[in-house]
Amino acid sequence: MRIFFDDRQAGHAPVREFHNGDWVAYAETPARLVSILERCGSAQPVRDFGIEPILAVHDLDYVDFLREAHATWRAAGREGDAIGYTFPIRGRRKLPLKRIDAALGAYAFDAATPVAEGTWDAAYWSAQCALTALEDIAGGARHAFALCRPPGHHAGADYLGGYCYLNNAAVAARRAEALGLGPVAVLDVDYHHGNGTQDIFLRDPGIFFASIHADPATDYPFYWGYADERGKDDAIGSTLNLPLARGAGWAEYAPALGAALDAIVQWGAATLVVSFGADTFARDPISHFLLEQDDFARVGATIAGRGLPTLVVMEGGYAVAELGSNVAAFLSGFD
């Protein structure tokens, strides 16, 4: 399986995030890339497909905000990374917000996702990374790995959160559909629910979304990912959520993975995009499943066993010392 990555993805480096009532060191660091590349080998170069595939998923006003947010923050006399502190509750109005403080809250759903000086460039090239790996699939490759960073599955059409700014998996899935590779399914196997991906495709009957994740009754992102969320309008039945309790290991995970893949195959998917998070690892510092390194190889082999052309898009995983080995184990299942 070929790996795709661009050095500019390392330029996103916020200093801190606000978590559980205090400032803590930012968990989604460039060191994650080093760990993965050391264990998984050299990467192929990334092509620039421009802004249009991104705008097929994300609203123009949000993209314009994200592109200029840090510069606007600094122009307002602020130091450090841009981060919001005031958020609209429940429904959001589209308002002509001029202060960067207000815009940050309007386009975010948490205080753990700062916009740093290099955030836009890194997010842009992360999306291009997913698009380049998809091009490999379109050219006949059975599998390809987009080493995306920052990750993307928490980002919605017009909001950031959960360390995510542009939704790489959604951008790739929409592009795959446009290239005639559909029907397209997205399988999210990160510890946390891919709320942004679900939101983007919630009313889209043409793209199936399945997610195995921690029960949102106990875990972030809390407000999405319940089993009764099945899509809306003409897309009812094209969303499948399989939440698992904290402490789930392979015995609990394997049946959920089988159920998700059964649903994807029965739906008629011709191309699969996998949002892969290694934060299901037993010793991940911010997660609570109990998968071990050998289990990642089982997850990869189970997915590969369905025979679909598969684009793997990197999402979370914060046990940095073990991250590269866990990703390598997952990818080995596709050999």
What's the whole-number mean pLDDT along residues 165-189?
A: 98
In a domain, 157, yes or no: yes
d(CA 64, CA 58): 10
We report the CATH number of the domain holding residue 181 as 3.40.800.20
pLDDT in the model for residue 97: 80
pLDDT in the model for residue 161: 98
Which residues are tagged catalytic? 154
In a domain, 190, yes or no: yes
In a domain, 87, yes or no: no
pLDDT above 90 (res 28): yes
Q: How many domains does the chain have?
A: 1
Is-contact 278 330, C-beta < 8 A? Answer: yes
Is-contact 309 322, C-beta < 8 A? Answer: no
In a domain, 109, yes or no: no
The most confident of the ranges 80-94, 97-111, 256-270 is 256-270
Is-contact 316 148, C-beta < 8 A? Answer: no
In a domain, 257, yes or no: yes
What's the whole-number mean pLDDT along residues 257-279?
A: 98
pLDDT above 80 (res 142): yes
How would you write 255-321 as a 3-class SS string?
HHHHHHHHHHHHHCCCEEEEEECHHHECCCCCCCCCECHHHHHHHHHHHHCCCCCEEEEECCCCCHH
d(CA 238, CA 185): 9
pLDDT above 90 (res 312): yes
pLDDT in the model for residue 187: 99
In a domain, 229, yes or no: yes
Which residues constitute the domain of residue 256? Answer: 2-18+25-61+116-332
pLDDT in the model for residue 95: 78
* pTM tops 0.95, yes or no: yes
In a domain, 102, yes or no: no
In a domain, 125, yes or no: yes
pLDDT above 80 (res 323): yes
Average pLDDT of the chain, as a whole number: 97
DSSP assigned state of 84: -
